[in-house]
Amino acid sequence: MSDTGNDALQQRLTGLTSWYSDWTGLRVAVYGLGVTGFSVADTLAELGAEVLVVASSADEEPRMLLEVIGAELVEQADLSAPPARLAEFDPELVIASPGFHWDHPLLLWAQQRGTAVWGDIELAWRLRDKVARPDGAEGPADWICVTGTNGKTTTVQLTATMILAGGNRVAPCGNIGVPVLDAIRDPEGFDVLVVELSSYQLHWVNRNAGGELSPFSAACLNIADDHLDWHGSLEAYIAAKAKVYDNTQVACVYNKADATTLRMVEEAEVIEGARAIGFGLGVPGPSDFGIVDGILCDRAFLEERRNTAIELTTLDELNEAGLAAPHVVANILAASALARSWGVEPQTIRDVLTAFRLDAHRIELVRAQAGVNWVDDSKATNPHAADASLRAYPSVVWLVGGLLKGVDVDDLVGKHVGRLRGAVLIGVDREPLRAAFRRHAPDLPVLEVEADETDQVMPTAVRLAGGLAREGDTVLLAPAAASMDQFADYAERGRLFQTAVHEYLGGEADDDEPASRSGQD
């Protein structure tokens, strides 16, 4: 393409900032055919673009649906080289699904050709004006964006539930499982979207003129080593996460216990008037959310915040609801800050917290029997999440292991050996764990599950853990690792753990066992 042609294409892409822009005939290659990839293809086909989906494999249902919507599919098991059809198609734009690493050969091919690369979030932001807001306000739905190494889904669910209880139409979407593109196309419209953003999605955000995400409010909950195999370094991972604060309009919510999140806010280019709102488990300062004498408080969204605070709920009430684990309380404070930034009343937040329950496989008490709690925190897929889970229990038999994703577990093991009765190792990446236990606790009982078959891993692990546990212990599945080495996902890992626990213990849980719903004392 000539320089003149390149300039004209760039001008066209820059101008595509609305559902009502002219997308007709634009040649777009969509990489990936998961939930996100299909939502991208479906949206673009509806807009009249020419769509070529490139995937290493495709299930029958999405394959058939692509044919129905008029998109073309190219399947090639080995995508280390671009399919011939991709070059023939000559895409003017590539949209990458989150699973494609930034240095994937197909993305490098696009960049070498000078082809623009967007993510699904940029596309959704450009198209967000398809449906009017149901509350009658001008403009499309506001976006409240949430990222962080851990706690994103719980915080998104809490924030959305609080806003919904305040009488607004709201959708939790993004990395939580519902593509943002599906939300912005809902014919009834929304007042606000609460968008969970992974580091993969944020990598592609705010790279192109015309597609700059500008959230109403945003939060980064925490930062720890994770997905380093995708980003290549901790610095690149942090840089991706930091994009959540760019162009924020009202509130940048950060974790007072995590200096990296504060630095992100300080370095962000925000809309004039946006405020930094801290949250933490200590006494809040002005413009913070925190805890005073067991009371969760808002000192940010009130006129007399230098002298007074608004009570939201109490730790006693959260304990009754099974929400008192410290990392869950931190998520509650963050969600409350986001909801309050959008005008939700304190009493509404309190009412929501009375009824809210965590999703399955998040510090979920499975059984309490013979003085031992069995807790499923399969969602603890990295060391940072496992650290938060371990800190909630004084004496633990720890089920740990899986795919470590290039993350060092030595510090995690060293930090918690004092509370461990023993450990049971699962998964393929056991050697780093073995080495850490040898270094920090050579006398600690450490057992290993040698079984390779998925249906045998958890029965063996539970039997070994049961042999180690004593009255007052918690048998805790907090793997600090991804699950895909032996399980379909963390949910399957958790379900099989729960099944194995019930089979091992037999019968029903003891009615007399004193255990709260979160497994906390």
Q: Judge whether residue 229 has pLDDT over 70.
A: no
Pairing of strands 372-376, 474-477: parallel
**DSSP-assigned letters across all residues of 374-405:** EEE-TT--SHHHHHHHHTT-SSEEEEE-SB-T
Share of the chain above pLDDT 70, in %: 95
pLDDT the model gives residue 101: 87
| Mean pLDDT along residues 407-426 | 94
Question: Which amino acid, 357?
Answer: R
Q: Which residues contact 191 (CB under 8 A, 6 or more apart)?
A: 133, 134, 135, 137, 141, 142, 163, 168, 169, 170
pLDDT of amino acid 231: 58
What single letter denotes the amino acid at residue 391?
R
Report all structural domains of the chain as residue ranges with CATH numbers, in order of start. Answer: 27-114 (3.40.50.720), 125-355 (3.40.1190.10), 364-505 (3.90.190.20)
Tell me the mean pLDDT in the region 298-315. Answer: 93
User: Does the pLDDT at position 33 exceed 90?
Assistant: yes
* Confidence band of 92 (pLDDT split at 50, 70, 90): very high
Cα angle 92, 9, 109; round to 5: 35
DSSP readout, 54-68? EES---HHHHHHHHH
Do the beta carbons of residue 206 and residue 212 sit within 8 Å?
Answer: yes
pLDDT tens for residues 238-267?
999 999 999 999 999 999 999 999 999 999
What pLDDT does 1 receive? Answer: 58
pLDDT given for residue 359 in this prediction: 76
Q: What is the pLDDT of residues 130-168, one digit of tens each?
A: 999 998 888 899 999 999 988 898 999 999 999 999 999
- What's the whole-model pTM score? 0.78
- Shortest CA distance to 157 belongs to which of 355, 301, 313, 383? 355
Query: Is pLDDT at 85 greater than 90 in this prediction?
Result: yes
Does 515 have pLDDT greater than 60?
Answer: no
Instruction: Give residue-wise pLDDT tens across range 3-28.
Output: 667 889 999 999 999 999 999 999 99
pLDDT in the model for residue 226: 58
- Tracing tokens 């607004």 back to the chain, one arrives at 168
Give me the sign of the Cα torsion angle 474, 480, 483, 486: negative
**Inter-axis angle of helices 259-267 and 234-242, to 10 degrees?**
60
With a cut of 70, say whether residue 511 has pLDDT above it. no
Average pLDDT for 458-485: 95
pLDDT tens sequence across 106-127: 999 999 999 999 999 999 999 9
pLDDT class for 459, splitting at 50, 70, 90? very high
